[in-house]
Amino acid sequence: MLNETKEAEILNEIRDSEKKAEDIVEKAKRESQAILDDAEKNSSELLAAKKEEISKAQKRKLLDFRDKAKSIKDGKLEEGKKSLNQLKAKAVKNVSKAVEFVMKKFEERI
């Protein structure tokens, strides 16, 4: 009977140890899942922040490009206006010479 009591006591200790081991495993699984959930949340937040950062950088670059394109366009328009004014001035200057030339040729024919 002493033997049976001892065996029952040992079996109870084994069951208690198994229960503790199962509890430890379950707790580890919960903690592991919590760590994974936290890591997923953090990575999602970081990804969203980086996407926003990239979007802002793209918008800045686009605005810079537009400003540069406008500046180049304005410069080309100014050059065109300047050339046009020079050509107009040259044409006005040459009108009197052209009239003289035509008059001379006309007088030569008469």
Residue 1 pLDDT: 65
Stated pTM of the model: 0.53
Residue 36 pLDDT: 97
Question: DSSP class of residue 110?
Answer: -
Q: Could you give the C-alpha distances from 75 to 63, 71, 99, in angstroms and in order? A: 18, 6, 36
- CA-CA distance, 4 to 44, in Å (whole number)? 59
Question: DSSP class of residue 99?
Answer: H
Residue 108 pLDDT: 79
93 part of a folded domain: no
35 part of a folded domain: yes
Residue 49 pLDDT: 97
Residue 100 pLDDT: 82
95 part of a folded domain: no
99 part of a folded domain: no
17 part of a folded domain: yes
67 part of a folded domain: yes
86 part of a folded domain: no
* Domain that residue 28 falls in: 1-79
85 part of a folded domain: no
Mean pLDDT by 10 residues, the chain (110 residues): 81 94 97 97 97 97 97 96 91 80 79
Give the chain's domain count: 1
- CA-CA distance, 27 to 21, in Å (whole number)? 10
Residue 95 pLDDT: 81
